[in-house]
């Protein structure tokens, strides 16, 4: 399984609808790009710490009825999962993915119900406005085709022009809103599908890892086998290889080969193993 396949995109959800308070979404959007840059630069540990702190402080501001806040919460969990993968804590990554998938499902269900009412209202108004505008346009066409309009007819013509223009503007607004809602729902459905699939894939991946560790005779033997594979696999990016290496070190922190590989990938010297204190002989 390539780790790159897990890296789900985090997108901003914008709609041509009346503005709602979205404290959490605004706060997350202000930090999202910076965290993404740091993840791509290999600074996953600090990103995880920052997101955990952010959720602890800002999480209470995520309105359960605001689709933008809930979408942002999914994005925050997704970014934290990426950071967990990169630091080798794949169980925590799966936990975040499952939470993100649950939130995405609930958000889609609530948004579909909320938008259904708005969509019906806009469609009903469009039917009404188009009918009214058609009648007004027909009268305006008659006046435009007549010669020698009276003062009252000129006044009526101006009123009809304003009336038609206002209706055209209202119709355009509702049509844009309907398109925006359709676009948002499509994005939320895709988000749910992506996180459901990613959570399922990682759950299966971790189950397979457990089986492989058992078949190898334990974590130490498994890591010793895997570290050679990671070392020689140049098809993966340095960050992917580092993520695998961090995973191996989490499974067996004392593996010297994994420590050396981590050092070569990060450019930092390996951390020496703690020396055991020699027991004093009783005199």
Residue ranges of the domains in the chain? Answer: 13-112+184-206, 123-183, 217-266
pLDDT at 87: 96
pTM above 0.85, yes or no: no
- H or E element: which one contains 52? helix 44-58
Length of the chain as a residue count: 283
Intervals of the chain under pLDDT 70: 1-21, 270-283
Domain 13-112+184-206 belongs to what architecture?
Answer: Alpha Horseshoe (1.25)
CB 222 within 8 A of CB 212: yes
pLDDT at 16: 39
Among 2, 10, 3, 5, smallest CA distance to 78 is for 10
Q: What is the chain's alpha carbon radius of gyration, rounded to the nearest angstrom?
A: 30
Class of residue 243 by CB neighbours under 10 A (exposed 0-12, middle 13-18, buried 19+): buried
Q: How many Cα neighbours within 13 Å face the side chain of 15?
A: 26
**Cα–Cα dist 56/67, whole Å:** 20
pLDDT in tens, 188-229: 999 999 999 999 999 999 999 999 999 999 999 999 999 999
């Amino acid at each position: 399984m390539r780790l790159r396949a897990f890296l789900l995109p985090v997108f901003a959800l914008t709609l041509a609808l009346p503005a709602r308070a979205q404290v959490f979404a605004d706060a997350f959007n202000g930090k999202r790009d910076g965290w993404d840059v740091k993840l791509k630069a290999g600074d996953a540990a600090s990103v995880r710490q920052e997101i955990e702190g952010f959720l602890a402080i800002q999480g209470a501001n995520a309105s359960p009825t605001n689709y933008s806040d809930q979408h942002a919460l999914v994005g925050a969990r997704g970014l934290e999962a990426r950071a967990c993968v990169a630091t080798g804590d794949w169980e925590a990554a799966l936990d975040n993915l499952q939470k993100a998938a649950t939130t995405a499902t609930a958000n889609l269900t609530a948004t579909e119900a909320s938008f259904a009412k708005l969509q019906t209202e806009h469609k009903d108004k469009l039917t009404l406005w188009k009918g009214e505008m058609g009648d007004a346009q027909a009268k305006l066409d008659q006046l435009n085709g007549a010669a020698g309009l009276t003062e009252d007819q000129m006044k009526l013509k101006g009123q009809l022009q304003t009336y038609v223009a206002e209706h055209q503007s209202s119709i355009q607004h509702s049509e844009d809103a309907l398109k925006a809602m359709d676009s948002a729902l499509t994005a939320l459905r895709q988000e749910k599908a992506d996180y459901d699939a990613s959570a399922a894939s990682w759950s299966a991946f971790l189950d397979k890892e457990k089986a492989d560790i058992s078949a190898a005779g334990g974590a130490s033997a498994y890591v010793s086998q895997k570290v050679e594979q990671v070392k020689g696999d140049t098809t993966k990016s340095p960050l992917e290889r580092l993520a695998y290496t961090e995973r191996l070190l989490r499974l067996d922190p004392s593996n010297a080969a994994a420590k050396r590989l981590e050092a070569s990938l990060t450019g930092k010297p390996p951390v020496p193993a703690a020396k055991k204190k020699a027991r004093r002989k009783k005199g």
